[in-house]
Structure 1
Amino acid sequence: MKKSKSLYHGHRFPAGVISCAVRWYFRFQPSLRDIEELLFERGVIVTYETIRCWCDKFGKGIAHRVKAVRRKPGSMWHLDEMFVTLRGEPYLLWRAVDEHGAELDILVQKRRDKAAAERFFKRVLRSSPVPRKIVTDQLRSYPAA
């Protein structure tokens, strides 16, 4: 009987390290440098560029499984907008959160208007099923959208 080669054959690091780094990247969505730091704390010295290559090469199957396991959005959404300062300039932050506290979408922009609210709602509705109830902070830009 012929023994088949491992998926990770020819790589310097063990399969457990590679699969763990790729799983972290797709499951928790940290930056590549964060994963590099987490692995360094565990005694594995690897560059973020190597982790990026691993995610490109081995991540397709893991990404599909992670998306399937994710919790479906709740039927009640909370929509919020607030002003934040980035690099000394005011921006508007739009945020949609479901009843379980999972963020559905975020939008940061310079202006606040009806068209922006419509674009944000359309984008959120495209990515998630229609909610039963939407809770807002009663701003005038929401009813227009």
Structure 2
Amino acid sequence: MRSASPSCKGNRYPVEVISHCVWLYFRFPLSFREVEELMLERGIVVSYETIRRWCSKFGQTYAGALRRRQPQFGDKWHLDEVVIKINGRLQYLWRAVDQDGHVLDILVQNRRDKAAARRFFRRLLKKTRTPPRVVVTDKLRSYDTALREVMPCVEHRQSKYLNNRAENSHQPTRQRERTLKGFRSVGGAHRFLSAFSGTSPHFRPRRHLMTTPNYRAEMTVRFANWKHITGVTGRPAAA
């Protein structure tokens, strides 16, 4: 298999340093300055501005490579939208996850009406290429009317009690939003959340369902896959 890692040609630092900085930033609720401090403790002098450029350049590429290595998405989609503040203005973050908690897609929009829901459904279909068996949402009426237009044969379940999986998936984003003290632009928010939603869950398997040895073995595989897609190693790990 060919490496999916982007080219690091022209960078002063080796790929191991770039990969580690990007991993720290998207895996943990750290600022660029805090990542700079952690690297300095390890004897690596790199500015927070350089780390910011690395995360902007490589973050989405790494996240996309991780998504392509995921197993096939489930046939039950959970959708939810949450308010986020961008440069002082309220926007809506739309998110879809499957029954196993894998993030299907995210989209930042300034509305939560039928047109916004329809746009998100079409985006999801284009990305997954297969309609789900069931869509679970809250009682926002925009979902129902948009789903009937885009996927009329798909079962739609509306209940605030059935959609905890989608609602819980917002919690890491809320944590990062507080760390970042809000987002400055819609484009910046979407770029960060796209990379974050593809990277952070990769290192958060459902540990409560695993024994300690199985969890450690699973994390070993996931770290090896991260090293492969970032170009640190040339061979992917076996699942």
- TM-score by length of structure 1 reads 0.62
- 8 Å CA contact 2:78–2:136 kept in 1: the answer is yes
- 8 Å CA contact 2:76–2:136 kept in 1: the answer is yes
Report whether the alignment pairs 1:112 with 2:112: yes
Instruction: Name the residue aligned to 2:138.
Output: 137
Instruction: Name the residue aligned to 2:161.
Output: none
* Matched pairs, number: 132
Q: One-letter code of the match for 2:119?
A: R
Q: One-letter code of the match for 2:136?
A: V
Instruction: Name the residue aligned to 2:169.
Output: none
Percent of aligned pairs with the same amino acid: 44
CA deviations 1:82-136 (Å, max 9, x no partner) are: 3344444332222111222222222222222211111111112211242222111
Higher radius of gyration, 1 or 2: 1
Q: For 1:88 and 1:64, how far apart are their aligned partners in 2?
A: 29
Report whether the alignment pairs 1:46 with 2:46: yes
Higher relative helix content: 2
Instruction: Name the residue aligned to 2:96.
Output: 96
Report whether the alignment pairs 1:19 with 2:16: yes
- 8 Å CA contact 1:82–1:94 kept in 2: the answer is yes
CA deviations 1:14-59 (Å, max 9, x no partner) are: x5xx23533663x787399375454334331123565657x979xx
Unaligned stretches of 5+ residues in structure 2: 1-7, 147-239
- 8 Å CA contact 1:84–1:93 kept in 2: the answer is yes
Q: For 2:21 and 2:92, how far apart are their aligned partners in 1?
A: 30
- TM-score by length of structure 2 reads 0.42
- 8 Å CA contact 1:21–1:35 kept in 2: the answer is no
* Greater Cα offset, 109-118 or 31-40: 31-40
- 8 Å CA contact 2:83–2:90 kept in 1: the answer is yes
Q: For 2:124 and 2:68, how far apart are their aligned partners in 1?
A: 19
Q: Which runs of 4+ in 1 moved over 6 A?
A: none
Larger RCO (alpha carbons 8 Å, 6+ apart): 2
SS at match of 1:81: strand
Q: For 2:99 and 2:117, how far apart are their aligned partners in 1?
A: 21
The alignment yields a C-alpha RMSD, in angstroms, of: 4.1
- 8 Å CA contact 1:73–1:98 kept in 2: the answer is yes
Unaligned stretches of 5+ residues in structure 1: 1-7
Q: CA deviation at 1:67?
A: 4.5
Higher relative strand content: 1
Q: One-letter code of the match for 2:139?
A: Q
Report whether the alignment pairs 1:76 with 2:73: no
Q: For 2:135 and 2:41, how far apart are their aligned partners in 1?
A: 43
